[in-house]
Structure 1
Amino acid sequence: MDSMGTVFTFISHETISKINILQNYLNGENGRSYQTVRSMIKYELDNGVVNFKELPPNRVPSGCRTLLRIHRALKWLEVFLYNLGTNPGQAKTSDMCAAAYHETLAHHHSWFIRQVAEVAFLALPPVEDMYKVICVRDHAEAKVVLMTTVDTIVKVYNLTQELYTTNHMLDLP
């Protein structure tokens, strides 16, 4: 992800920090409760770890809250990669990325973060450079790689979405 430009470097670092939080829970004293998304949700709900009203200050976010942030970003990545894979090169990557952001993540962010994101999208490389990053020569090859990736993302996203929906956790602060 880092090789795709500044926007992706920031996203990559944010994702890594969230994965580290989840890894710390998995390696912690209650690690057995964090082996699956389902067991994490059950443990955190049963033990009052999840705060539905606010993010407690000076406390590591719950596993459920942390995974929800990754889950939302996964939807953005799905839509962006879909746009990239279905567009035969006429649109700018910055426009495709911005469209995916507005469709998925923008409403979760403050005005300031939305403005920073808009500027950051302008730094995205052209479509041809994105193809090089994913090790393909042209749109036809990219479409195969990207649509395969999107299909996998959709499966993971839908499973997690169902668990969060069932447990009324899609709006955690």
Structure 2
Amino acid sequence: MADLEGEKVLRKIGEAFKELSTTVNSQTPDLEVAPFSRACSLVSPLFGCLGIAFKFAEIDYVAKVDDLAEASKSIVTLQSLIDRDIEAKTVRKAGSHTRNLLRVKRGIDMVRILFEQILVTEGNSLKDPASKAYAQVFAPHHGWAIRKVVAAGMYALPTKAQLLKKLNEDESSARVQMQNYIVASAAVIIYIDKLFHARELGIDW
């Protein structure tokens, strides 16, 4: 992927999510839409690196992140973004910012679990880590047809070595950056889940 030439993608993702986690762990945890959507956009190339199995996720994720980036021009915080949709009674409508936020959160959660699994899985194959991440996050929300396509695509995943090469990382630097992202994104995901639960919206739709 030429667009990753020389880019330290994992470091950028780790640093961006670290900043978000600092905000959500602070006394006034008002997470702003602009830095959130910016951090999420840094994750997009990762889906591209995983090949055909996650093509659907890449297309869907990029579109939803773009929507949030656009929304950030007029809406400051994630809280007000959700509250506006509640007032307009559009929370669950296709294309609503709140629905898109939930989908984006799943994307960053899937990457978190993928990284966790990569760190604890021996060998060079990404099939187990990617399968587990997909099964936990996306599979419950996907119909049989998509699950079948993804399962087939798992055989075309890059190896761990190929993925790190695409991301311009060596094994030791990648471990550090993946760990940073795992910790920071977990705090952000918990924060977003709380926003939904506090408004009794649920997160399984």
Same fold (TM > 0.5): yes
For the residues of structure 1 that align with 2:136 and 2:91, how far apart are their CA atoms? Answer: 27
Structure 1 residue runs without a partner (length 5+): none
1:164 is aligned to 2:196: yes
Aligned residue number for residue 61 of structure 1: 95
Whole-Å separation in 2 of the counterparts to 1:70 and 1:104:
11
Superposed CA deviations along residues 64-107 of structure 1, whole A, max 9, x for unmatched, are 011111111221111011111232x3262012101111112110
Unaligned runs of 5+ in 2: 1-45
Segments of 4+ moved more than 4 angstroms: none
What percentage of aligned pairs have identical amino acids?
A: 21
SS in 2 for 1:61: coil
Q: Say which one has the larger Rg.
A: 1
Aligned Cα root-mean-square deviation (Å): 2.1
2:54–2:150 contact (8 Å) kept in structure 1:
no
Aligned-partner Cα distance in 1 for 2:146–2:53: 12
Residue 145 in structure 1 maps to residue 203 in structure 2: no
Q: 1:166 to 1:134 in 2, by over 3 A?
A: same
Task: State the partner residue of 2:71.
Answer: 25
Letter of the aligned partner of 1:44 in structure 2? D
TM-score (normalizing by structure 1): 0.80
Number of aligned residue pairs: 159
Report if the CA contact (8 A) 1:72-1:105 is conserved: yes
State the distance in 2 between where 1:103 and 1:172 align: 12
Say whether 1:83 aligns with 2:117: yes
Which segment drifts farther, 163-172 or 100-109?
163-172
**What one-letter code is carried by the residue in structure 1 that aligns with 2:179?**
M
More deviation in 108-117 or 41-50? 41-50
| TM-score normalized with structure 2 length | 0.69
Give the letter aligned to residue 110 of structure 2. Answer: W
- What one-letter code is carried by the residue in structure 1 that aligns with 2:127? S
Residue 164 of structure 1 deviates from its aligned partner by 1.2
Moved more, 90-99 or 75-84: 90-99
Secondary structure, in 3 states, of the residue corresponding to 1:122?
helix
SS in 2 for 1:50: coil
